[in-house]
Every structure is written in C-alpha cells, then in structure tokens.
A and B are shown apart, each in its own frame.
Chain A
Amino acid sequence: MMAVIKSIEELEKIREQARELINLRKDNENKTRIVVGMGTCGISAGAREVLTAILDEIKKRNLTNVIVTETGCIGMCRFEPLVDVIKPDQPKVTYVNVDPEKARQIVAKHVVNNQVIDEWVIPNI
C-alpha cells in the first residue's frame, strides 16, 4: 500500500497552528538570542546536532521570545561546539564543548529559568 507522503499543502494547516502561537512582538531587543558556532570546526564537532536539540526544545516549550542565530569560526575551535546565550540587558554567556543534552539543559535552565550553568561556561570572552 502506498503511504501518503507529506506535501506542501499541509503548510496551510501549520500556518493555522502557528498563527495561534506566534509572538507578534517584533521588538527583538526583548528577546533572548542563542548563537551557535557554525564554522567548519563547529559543524565537525557536532554543532548541527546541538542546534537541532535547541530548536526542538524551543518547539516543545513553545518559546516565542528566543531567536537562534549563528556565528562562524571565532578561533576557539577546540572548544566547539560553542553556544552563546544573550539575555536582554545581560552580558553574553558562552558555553563550550556543548552536546545535544547540554544544549537542552541550557535552554531549560538558562534561557527559561535564568540560571547560568557555570561549570560549562568559559569566562570573559
């Protein structure tokens, strides 16, 4: 039996769902930014799986005040994957050697509950 393959028409349904959840506030200044290092070094160290975990956590928790962006190689390749969390009006916090499980906890503890996970942080960069 031929399975029904997903088609682009489904996006109409997604659009309806998304409209209910969307945060209409456009002011990015009040949003938390998560920055993942996506240079060659980051990607080969596992940045894609880290990013996937972060996106999944954002979806599961319906977080609408978070923006995920990327940066290239910043010369700290041996600490990759690197993840920055920048909360509004707070200094940037950089997590090093992140894996998907750590990434999920960073979202839960730091992004949602405002608790920096000190042991995974590199200070002053």
Chain B
Amino acid sequence: MKELSLHVLDIVENSLRAGATEVEIKIVEDSEEDLLSIEVKDNGSGMDEETVKKVIDPFFTTRTERKVGLGIPLLSQAAKAAGGGLTIESIPGHGTTVRAWFQKSHIDLQPLGDMAKTMSALVALHPEVDFVYTHVKDDREFSLNTKDMKARLQEIPVNHPLVIDWISKFIKENLDNLNGGAE
C-alpha cells in the first residue's frame, strides 16, 4: 500500500466482510501532539481474542484451514515504521475497532492519499451500509454521514453515479478547507 487511504479502504472491507451495517471512520491530525490517528469502528461480527492475535500476526500460527489476510499486518507495519502502532478491540457479536496511530512528522509516514476516492468507492460498492467519515485537523473538522444523505435523497440510491461524484467533490473540498483554505 502506498498511501494510508488505501489501508483505510482495505480495513473497512474487512468490516464489511464481517457483516457490518455501520462503519465509522475517524481520522485525527493533531499538530501539537505530532499525531495522526486512524480509527475504523464497525458493528460486524467481531472476533475472539485468539483470532485477534492471528489477525495482527498472520504467521503466529501454522494453521491453514482458515485464511488470514495481510491487510492488518500491512497497516501495523506502516504504523510502526512511522513511530506509531496499532490496536484492535473486538467483541464477538458486537463489532471491532481498529486504531492505528503515527508520528505526524515522521519521515517514513505514508501520505494520507485520496480519501475522496476511498469513500466514494466504499459507498458505490456498499450502498446498504451506513458510513460516517469524520476528519479532524486541530480545531477544524468535517464529516460525511451517508444515513443523513439517504434521508435527503429519498428514492434516489446513494450509489447513483451523480451522488458518488458529489461525495468525491464534497470530501475533496472539505479536506482542502481543513488543510489551509480560508481562515
């Protein structure tokens, strides 16, 4: 993975494969603390402790009957390389929260990349899921909530091409605004 937004896409895909119907994605950039954090919280099927261990380290076991993906280890590695780390909290039957944090000024921190593409891809492929994407940068923040969007769109599906295009522009403009823009 070349950018953090691709990791986000990959981690959220895990949530969806675990049957999540609600996924909250929160990215926080804190200049004072020199911290960037990414949190993906879902209401999917969750995992027991043993499975969580295996998900973090795919070579923890030689068991072969179930496939364990590389998505979490890749994110964990990216976090460690940038002075951070990764935790997973999971309750079987309730859901999973993956949290990764990074030293914002670290030379090996991957760029955040294109969150507009990541979110529009997720909504296009999973219109039935409710996504909340919140991005905080110091004292500014914005969020996108597909539940609110659906209420306004009524009979128009949230994955309609015009809506997907709007989501992409909405996120781009709001991120530009967070990253400078108008005072």
Contacts and interface: CB of A to CB of B under 8 A. Distances in A.
Interface string A11-36: 11011011101100000000000001
Given A21-B162, A48-B118, A52-B117, A3 B156 contact: no
Interface string A80-91: 000000000000
Interface string B139-167: 00000000011001111100011111110
Contacts of A21: 162
B174 A59 contact: no
Nearest to B5: A48
Contact of B124 (A22, A43, A51): A51
- The interface residues of chain B, by DSSP majority, are classed as helix
A8 B1 contact: no
Nearest to A77: B70
Interface of B: 1-2, 6, 9-10, 13, 17, 67, 69-71, 74, 117-118, 120-121, 124-125, 148-149, 152-156, 160-166, 169-170, 173-174, 177, 181-182
14 contacts: A6-B173, A8-B148, A8-B149, A8-B152, A11-B152, A14-B162, A18-B163, A40-B69, A40-B74, A48-B6, A48-B121, A49-B117, A55-B164, A70-B13
